[in-house]
Structure 1
Amino acid sequence: MSECHGEEAEHVDGDDDTLGADFENLMCSADTIVDEAHDRKDIQGISWDKLSITREDYRKGRLQSYRNYENIPNSGEAAGKDCLNSEKGSSFYMFKKNFRSVTPAILHFQLRELVWATSNNDVYVMSNNSISHWSTLTSSGDKVLDLSGHVAPSEEHPGSLLEGFSKTQVSSFAVKDGMVVTGGFSGELICKHLNKPGVSFCYRLTCEENAITNCVNIHKNSSGALHFMASSNDGGVRNFDMETYQLVQHFHYPWPVNHTSVSPDGKLVTIVGDEPDGLLVDSNNGETVGKLIGHLDYSFASAWHPDGVTFATGNQDKTCRVWDIRNLSKSVAILKGNLGAIRSIKFTSDGQYMAMAEAADFVHVYKTNTGYMKEQEIDFFGEISGISFSPDTESLFIGIYDRSYGSLMEFARDRVSGSAL
């Protein structure tokens, strides 16, 4: 993966042309709720009637000018030939509120796993180089882990760096089961209990120069123990026991590993990175179970359906491929984005829906039992820092990173019309 990060993040994936100073002045600074969105016909609260360009014309301009980042030239154009022609227009999740007080951030333009919902009302985002908690009930937030200064472990565990880290640049993080695990640009790994003060564990994955921690995920292993996995630019995939913080497995691959995800039973792991072909491996020994052949560029996203049979991968060729472990010779479905790379994928816990986020402007929600034919397209403006369904499936959260209209958007599951589609 590229080493570009910091302020470049907003502009590298695509040319982020703006509507200028007039647009910024007209931008509503208050939250937008559903009734106001109906009045304005814009979920972000943009007063298009006061601008010299219509929303439709601005959308057309964005589609034409946005520059998708590709490591392999023309991958997006070539990959579009075999994509499923899904039926758009469904409404599985309805817009509920746009929180302007939340300011999501992206420090590396290719890494977008920076929004995590732990309940219908609790969301964690990366903002100002801190992990922050946002409550949709109180419309207020607080810092959980401030990484702009110095952090050091308050507990003693073998292998923990007692001196800690200073000014860690966050590349990835995950929140689950009362824990937050954060990865940094220089191989840092920082673990914290949400309900305890202080940091529990600090570790450096590698001292190599290109040491970005591309992905961290918290999961149950095959015996039911809580673990977390870290994927690095050094080609390493490291699995830690969450109770003891001890490294229990270290697999290595010949290319940077950009994302991993563990099957619901803990037995299999998807491995994708700076190589068009992904891997399905045995979680106990890292041995390859099957190859995922079909993508034309580098992949940065993956996720498992709760059935443990189906999983999906997202690629810079602007496609998401759905796979079945019983037959990896071809994809179950190939889904196409509008604008850019597919940088985040999530399934609902009941398996009924899958969301895929492009680098900017579009999140697509599919009903899985229709063969991914039924689609809801959520259309807005801004780089996407991450997406997350609440564990109860009732909410979908989208982080938007932009100087003018950054926010956290909340959508509620449509139990009436959505279930009938």
Structure 2
Amino acid sequence: MEDDYEMGAVEDYLDEEFLEGRIGHSESDDEYDRSHDNASDTSSLQARKGKDIQGIAWDRLNITREKYRQTRLEQYKNYENIRNSGEASEKECQPTEKGGMFYEFQRNTRSVKSTILHFQLRNLVWATSKHDVFLISHYSIMHWSALTSKEFEVMNVSGHVAPSEKHPGSLLEGFSHTQVSTLAVKDKLLVAGGFQGELICKYMDQKGISYCCRTTHDDNAITNAIEIYDSDSGPVHFLASNNDCGVRDFDMEKFQFVKHFRFSWPVNHTSLSPDKKLLVVVGDNPEGLLVDAHTGKTVQEMHGHKDFSFASAWHPDGQMFATGNQDKTCRLWDVRNLSKSLAVLRGNIGAIRSVRFSSDGRFMCMAEPADFVHIFDVGSGYTKRQELDFFGEISGMAFSPDTEALFVGIWDRTYGSLLQYTRSRTYTYLDSLL
């Protein structure tokens, strides 16, 4: 995984168009700033009446939405570690039918500012219910309630953070000025990973921090991904994937580090199968690995991607999994035959940096670095999809556990927000009443 990269903001181009498009040029910059600050949320009703879901005032610009979309498609530069990987993968992609309506736009909340600290790591939005969302906003980990439209700070890591409990192996002195690279939330447990290998664990129903540790003192120690899971024996565990080529397993009942699997390249993402027997491991190598979750031994390699991978996810049935890559594709795999991927799905402008399946297994969601999230109908063989189209870098996305909601975090200096979508339902039993 690379250390730095410059992300572009939507406002850089739109601001220029806004300033050129004003009637005359007598207005002050202060007035221009106020016009941005006063931008309001957008509801589903307003969107149906024609309001832009992000509140972008296209009628005041010198460019239409359609023209700007075309400009972004032509000019957005996808980051590649292996040159021309996006072109090399294009011929293998299967055609898909756009136009599905699986999730409907519900609300865009401008007051929720979801931010990104590393351009390749986009797992910074998590939902624990259809109303409760957790995300990173600068140095704060925030809880947003879609029910009350209120935001609460769960943790602030800009200063000193230290555990309030004593456990063997916990770093009692804690950390200062932590840069959060990744996040995971499940039920009541929140785990944040940092650029220096930091891990900070907090139970949301308890005061203070439960556990802090540094996975390694290696110079290349960034925590790339975290997965929380319930072990077969009962206690909650989590897996940490690190740039030092390691995957580590932690027991949150005993607050102990219990396993360490080592690989030959930096691990960017790891996913545990529903039966807890297999791990998908992807990272700074075009090949992915299927690994025995108990021993760390490689079961089989997956060949097909042209660049480095940063996302993976298992279908709930435990037979299929997906991998997302900087070659602009998401590949679907059948664990019973890994000689070739089942399907190759392509994004519009960039790498597939996040992949999620809905808990009922009906949908798979994949997010590009910016502007597009694609929802695929699994039952159609991934041939039917819905395209969520907006502007801005994507900090993360999450289905709610009951599949009723989908949240997408947008990072942009002006148009940053949290998008909320609701599961589309057709109540055919009501037809007889009409």
- The superposition leaves residues 220-262 of structure 1 with CA deviations (integer Å, 9 ceiling, x where unpaired) of 2344432100010000100011111211110001110000011
Other-structure match for 1:18: 13
Match of 1:414 in 2: 424
Indicate the percent of aligned positions where both proteins have the same amino acid.
60
- Give the letter aligned to residue 361 of structure 1: D
Contact 2:89–2:327 (Cα < 8 Å) also in 1: yes
In structure 1, distance between residues paired with 2:222 and 2:178: 11
Question: What is the one-letter code of the residue matched to 2:250?
Answer: F
Q: What CA deviation, in whole Å up to 9, does each residue of 1:167-205 have, x standing for no partner?
A: 100000100021000100001011000111110001000
Query: Which secondary structure state, in structure 1, belongs to the residue aligned with residue 135 of structure 2?
Result: strand
Quote the residue 2:3 is aligned against: 3
Correspondence for 2:108: 98
Please tell me the residue identity of whatever aligns with 1:3: D
The residue aligned with 2:201 is 191
Q: Using the alignment, how far apart are the partners of 1:200 and 1:165 within structure 2?
A: 13
Structure 1 residue 40 displacement after superposition? 3.0
Residue of structure 2 equivalent to 1:178? 188
Displacement of 1:208 in angstroms is 0.8
Q: CA deviation at 1:35?
A: 1.6
- Would you say 1:309 and 2:304 are equivalent positions? no
Alignment partners' CA distance in 2, 1:220 and 1:266:
9
Alpha-carbon separation, structure 2, partners of 1:265 and 1:222: 9
TM-fit CA distance, 1:351: 0.3
Indicate conservation of the 8 Å contact 2:54/2:108, yes or no: yes
Q: Which moved more, 1:73-82 or 1:356-365?
A: 73-82
Matches within 5 A, 1:80-119: 80-119=90-129
Q: CA deviation at 1:48?
A: 1.1
- Any idea what the Cα deviations from partners look like across 1:37-83, whole Å, max 9, x if unmatched? 12335211212122110001000000111000000000011111111
SS of the aligned residue for 2:59 comes to: helix
Secondary structure of the residue that 1:342 maps to in structure 2? coil
Matched with 1:58 is 68
CA distance in 2, matches of 1:106, 1:129: 10
2:253 to 243, 253, 263: 243
How far off is 1:96 after superposition?
A: 0.3
| Counterpart secondary structure, 2:353 | strand
Give, in whole Å, the separation in 1 of the partners of 2:380 and 2:77.
Answer: 32
Q: Counterpart in 1 of 2:23? A: none
Aligned equivalent of 2:375, options 362, 365, 370: 365
Normalised TM-score (structure 1): 0.95
Q: Please list the CA deviations of residues 330-351 of structure 1 after superposition, one character each: whole Å capped at 9, or x if unmatched.
A: 1111100001000001111000
Gaps of at least 5 residues in structure 1 are none
Once residues 389 and 192 of structure 2 are traced to their aligned partners in structure 1, the CA distance between those partners, rounded to angstroms, is: 30
What is the DSSP-based 3-state SS (H/G/I as helix, E as strand, rest coil) of the residue aligned with 1:307? coil
Residue type of the alignment partner of 2:299: V
Verify the 8 A CA contact 2:10 2:391 in the aligned structure 1. no
1:322 maps to which of 332, 342, 359 = 332
Distance, in Å, in 2 between the alignment partners of 1:313 and 1:226 is 25
Query: Per the alignment, in what secondary structure is the counterpart of residue 218 of structure 1?
Result: strand
Aligned to 1:340: 350
Q: Aligned equivalents of 1:49 and 1:38: distance in 2?
A: 17
User: In structure 2, what residue type is equivalent to 1:2?
Assistant: E
Q: Residues 194-233 of structure 1: matches in 2 within 5 Å?
A: 194-233=204-243
**Partner Cα distance (2:339, 2:11) in 1:** 38
| Distance in 2, Cα, partners of 1:245 & 1:229 | 13
Q: Which letter maps to 2:211?
A: F
Taking the aligned partners of 1:262 and 1:131, their CA distance within structure 2 comes to 25
Question: Residues of 1 paired with 2:235 and 2:341: CA distance?
Answer: 31
Question: Residue type of the partner of 1:277?
Answer: E
Q: Deviations over 1:390-418 (max 9, x none)?
A: 00100000000000100000000001299
Q: Is the 8 A contact 1:40 1:46 kept in 2?
A: no
CA distance in 2, matches of 1:221, 1:295: 31
The answer to whether structure 1 residue 351 and structure 2 residue 346 are counterparts is no
Task: Give the structure 1 partner of residue 140 of structure 2.
Answer: 130
Distance in 1 of aligned mates of 2:393 and 2:91: 26
| CA distance 1:269–1:222, change in 2 (3 Å) | farther
Provide Cα deviations, 1:115-134, integer angstroms capped at 9, x if missing partner. Answer: 00000100001002111000
Q: Which has the larger radius of gyration?
A: 2
Task: Please list the CA deviations of residues 75-120 of structure 1 after superposition, one character each: whole Å capped at 9, or x if unmatched.
Answer: 0111111111010000000000000010001000000000000001
> What SS is found at the alignment partner of 2:47?
helix
CA offsets 1:265-298 (integer angstroms, 9 cap, x no match): 1111110000000001010010111111100000
Matched with 1:387 is 397
In 2, Cα distance between equivalents of 1:83 and 1:361: 20
SS of structure 1 residue aligned to 2:49: helix
Q: Is the 8 A contact 1:91 1:417 kept in 2?
A: no
Contact persistence 2:11–2:414 (CA under 8 A): no
Q: What corresponds to 1:268 in structure 2?
A: 278
CA distance in 1, matches of 2:4, 2:210: 30
CA distance in 2: counterparts of 1:257 and 1:277, whole angstroms: 12
Residue by residue, what CA displacement relative to the aligned partner does 1:118-176 show, whole Å, maximum 9, x if unpaired?
Answer: 00100001002111000001111011111111100000110000000001000001000
Residue aligning to 1:295: 305
How many residues align structurally? Answer: 413
Q: Is this contact kept in 2: 1:310–1:324, CA < 8 A?
A: yes
**Distance in 1, Cα, partners of 2:133 & 2:380:** 29
> RMSD of the alignment, in Å?
1.6
Q: Could you tell me whether the CA contact under 8 Å between 1:227 and 1:239 is conserved in 2? A: yes
Q: Write the letter of the residue equivalent to 2:59.
A: D
Moved more, 359-368 or 240-249: 240-249
Give, as a single letter, the amino acid of the residue that structure 2 aligns with 1:211.
A
